[in-house]
Amino acid sequence: MKIYVINGANLNLLGVREPEIYGSETLADINAAIAEKCKTLGINCEFFQSNHEGAIIDKLHEAWEKADGVIINPGAFTHYSYAIRDAISTLAIPVIEVHISNIHAREEFRHKSVLSAVCEGVLCGFGSMGYLMAVDYFRAV
């Protein structure tokens, strides 16, 4: 099994951007924890981060042929990217949406995800553990 872990806008700044909301872990720390968990479960994983919507869409298109599933934290694209939504909806593989913070306990504009309806599941508010919980999902399917 192979999964893609895709992170969107501003997630490259984890550890320095609003640590009171997102914590002190960097994206490299989170990716290392995911890689270690995947290794113990016999799952191959590939990591990708971009602040550019089109690059994320291209990576989702690539996942169509090269991955068995996707874990995505789209960052702010969650709330308005119908283009990413359409890319997810065309995939014949499961996609799990992850958010470090509880988007429903934040500013009102963050309460709505345009992606959730086309994802297999959503994890939010569990910090970086949400990514590991998503890996557990792929182990079970």
pTM greater than 0.85: yes
Per-position b or e across 5-38, b if 16+ CB within 10 A of its CB: bbbbbebbebeeeeeeebbebebeebbebbbebb
Which of 52, 99, 111, 137 does the annotation list as catalytic? Answer: 99
22 catalytically annotated:
yes
Phi, psi of 29 (to 5 degrees): -60, -45
79 is catalytic: no
pLDDT (tens place) for every residue of the chain, 141 residues total: 999 999 999 999 999 987 777 778 999 999 999 999 999 999 999 999 999 999 999 999 999 999 999 999 999 999 999 999 999 999 999 999 999 988 877 778 776 899 999 999 999 999 999 999 999 999 998
From the candidates 22, 61, 79, 104, which is the catalytic residue? 22
Which stretch of DSSP H or E encloses residue 39? helix 27-41
